[in-house]
């Protein structure tokens, strides 16, 4: 089948829209995932083990902050390159992509976009290389979809800020060296701060017993009278615009990443359908199996076109928050449906670690909720259509 020649379905020849550099980047990340992630990921997931050595390897291969300028250690690449990198990593595992996209979009991006030149030079090269791992503190135990209700706060003590509060469901937190944290000042305005490991009163308890993203480390951020130096405040942003700008970048990466999961599930199902014999022929010969595979490929193709067009708009500085919401919601939902259909094609084998399907399916249950839930993204689109926000 001609569309399989690139190692992934490309039914509409979307590769023709990519540059030579895009294709080289895709191949290098694909080779990295096949070597460093795929042989180990089922065991890591079974053991709920986060392989901390992967952080430096991600840095070496350029997966952290690909769009950050090279002078700060980033890749200086465009947004389609970033999307392709996220797609290939998530084809390996959503938890691994979470590690990379949090570092690039939620830690490096705000320091680059909202930070001082001193902050950029101090933190970005170490984060880009994987010497340091970062995390992003926005969600709280009582404030998820409504981040503006946050209670984490800072008080101006003259020569430093005093930070109190807690954040929940924070990817990378148990292993982080730095955290970009959002808190309200005395005037109730949201500000961003860089909190460093070792600051007194700062702890990162791990969250255990997850059925999803088991190879990713997830935890809390707890601030008990943490003294944060004044120079650690992000000077160039105030209000929800700051964290939401970061989330735009991360959600964009997820829209591409989810395609990687869908591709992995589809390819596994197609291969299994051609090899599994029932009633004296491969199950791929049956109409209902062909229907599933044809619909999978159709949905993947639509998602690829959506992501490519969004990447083009992002490169031109035209992509809106609402367009990114639509792509994140659609593509994750698409991947989840494909994972479920692929599980059925695999029959009983689909629930085992012999195949990636069940792991992907469980991971996607987190991806469909984090960085804007399925429903919230629908309401963002609805508010854009009608001009009436339904979530207030």
Q: Which residues are catalytic?
A: 371
288, 324, 333, 341 from 295: Cα distances, Å:
11, 24, 14, 10
* 313, HSE (Cβ side, Cα atoms, 13 Å): 16
Which residues, at least 6 apart from 222, have a Cβ–Cβ distance to it below 8 Å?
166, 202, 203, 204, 205
Q: How far apart are CA 223 and CA 186, in angstroms?
A: 17
Q: How far apart are CA 344 and CA 230, in angstroms?
A: 56
150, 325, 344 from 370: Cα distances, Å:
17, 12, 26
Instruction: Report H helices in the chain.
Output: 20-36, 41-47, 53-61, 79-92, 94-101, 109-114, 117-129, 241-275, 287-315, 321-345, 357-367, 374-386
Residue linked to tokens 């709920």: 48
């Amino acid at each position: 089948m001609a569309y399989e020649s690139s190692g992934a379905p490309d039914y509409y020849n979307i590769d023709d829209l990519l540059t030579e550099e895009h294709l080289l980047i895709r191949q290098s990340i694909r080779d990295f995932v096949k070597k460093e992630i795929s042989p180990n990921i089922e065991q890591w997931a079974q053991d709920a083990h986060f392989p901390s050595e992967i952080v430096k390897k991600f840095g070496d291969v350029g997966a952290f902050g690909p769009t950050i300028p090279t002078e700060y250690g980033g890749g200086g690449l465009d947004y389609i390159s970033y999307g392709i990198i996220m797609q290939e990593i998530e084809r390996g595992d959503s938890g691994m992509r979470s590690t990379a996209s949090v570092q690039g979009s939620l830690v490096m991006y705000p320091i680059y976009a909202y930070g001082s030149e001193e902050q950029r030079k101090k933190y970005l090269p170490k984060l880009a290389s994987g010497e340091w791992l970062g995390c992003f503190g926005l969600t709280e135990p009582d404030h998820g979809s409504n981040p503006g209700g946050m209670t984490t706060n800072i008080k101006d003590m003259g020569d430093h800020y005093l930070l109190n509060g807690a954040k929940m469901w924070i990817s990378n937190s148990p292993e982080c060296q730095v955290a970009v944290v959002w808190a309200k000042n005395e005037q109730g305005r949201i500000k961003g701060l860089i909190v460093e490991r070792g600051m007194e009163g700062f702890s990162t308890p791990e969250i255990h017993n997850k059925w999803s993203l088991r190879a990713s480390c997830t935890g809390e951020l707890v601030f008990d009278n943490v003294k944060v130096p004044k120079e650690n405040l992000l000077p160039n942003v105030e209000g929800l615009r700051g964290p939401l700008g970061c989330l735009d970048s991360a959600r964009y990466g997820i829209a591409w990443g989810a395609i990687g999961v869908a591709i992995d599930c589809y390819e596994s199902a197609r291969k299994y359908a051609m090899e599994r014999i029932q009633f004296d022929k491969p199950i791929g010969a049956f109409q209902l199996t062909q229907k599933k595979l044809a619909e999978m490929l159709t949905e993947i193709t639509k998602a690829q076109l959506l992501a490519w067009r969004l990447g083009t708009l992002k490169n031109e500085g035209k992509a809106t928050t609402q367009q990114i919401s639509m792509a994140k919601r659609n593509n994750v939902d698409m991947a989840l449906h494909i994972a479920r259909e692929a599980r059925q094609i695999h029959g009983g084998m689909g629930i085992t670690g012999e195949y990636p399907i069940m792991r992907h399916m469980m991971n996607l249950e987190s991806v469909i909720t984090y960085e804007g839930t399925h429903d919230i993204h629908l309401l963002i689109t609805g508010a854009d259509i009608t001009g009436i926000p339904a979530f207030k």
